[in-house]
Amino acid sequence: MRHIFKEGQLDGPTLLLLHGTGGNEHDLLPIAEMIDPSANVLSVRGNILENGMPRFFKRLKEGIFDLDDLVKQTKNLAEFIDEASEKYQFDRNQVIAIGYSNGANIAGSLLFHYKNVLKGAILHHPMVPIRDVELPDQKQTAVFIGAGKNDPMCPAKESVELEELLANNGADVTVHWERNGHQLTQTEVQAARDWYQKQF
């Protein structure tokens, strides 16, 4: 996958950055800098192009995902993280995802399909990636969800559903609410940073 790797403390955390639809691997670099300037950064560009806009899996229309492709791309991403940890020599057990929108959805999908795939995840404006699957045990995983009470793309009740699904499978989930639609605001990133500093 097209990506940027920025080396920090190799034996410390690695931030896996996953952009929103139409973004790229450069978008979330300033956020990683705010969250943990000493971390390694693995920032990935989504493999799918939708009318020229990169994203991480196909969708049939807005909010309706191509679930076969979601499962396939989730596996690709999990394998890519494994390969990157060998290539760049970072600690595979300390990968913390930071995803926004479509990037948060594929990060959520990693947690819905694989155990021990992420140590933690900051999900900005995620949806429930897939329903009717049995989630793996996520007892070791800490998750921050940044959600909007008035987010037209990711309805508030879906954020609550995601929180419940993850928490019911053992994840330690914190939800932070905003009222700025689907936007990723400075206050939300600051809340994520405060959460990260307490957790890791």
Over the chain, what HEC string results?
Answer: CCEEEECCCCCCCEEEEECCCCCCCCCCHHHHHHHCCCCEEEEECCCEEECCEEECCCEEECCEECHHHHHHHHHHHHHHHHHHHHHHCCCHHHEEEEEECHHHHHHHHHHHHCCCCCCEEEEECCCCCCCCCCCCCCCCCEEEEEEECCCCCCCHHHHHHHHHHHHHCCCEEEEEEECCCCCCCHHHHHHHHHHHHHHC
61, 62, 132, 157: which one binds ligand MLT (CB under 6 A): 62
21, 74, 141, 159: which one binds ligand MLT (CB under 6 A): 21
Query: Please, which residue, 21 or 73, has the CB nearer to ligand MLT?
Result: 21
Mark 106-145 with x for binding to ligand MLT (rule: CB under 6 A) and - for no binding: ----------------------------------------
Which residue is closest to ligand MLT by CB?
A: 102
Task: Kindly determine how many residues on this chain lie close enough to bind ligand MLT according to the rule CB under 6 A.
Answer: 9
Stretch in the footprint of ligand MLT (CB under 6 A) among 33-41, 59-67, 86-94, 172-180: 59-67
User: Under the criterion CB under 6 A, does residue 101 sit at the interface with ligand MLT?
Assistant: yes
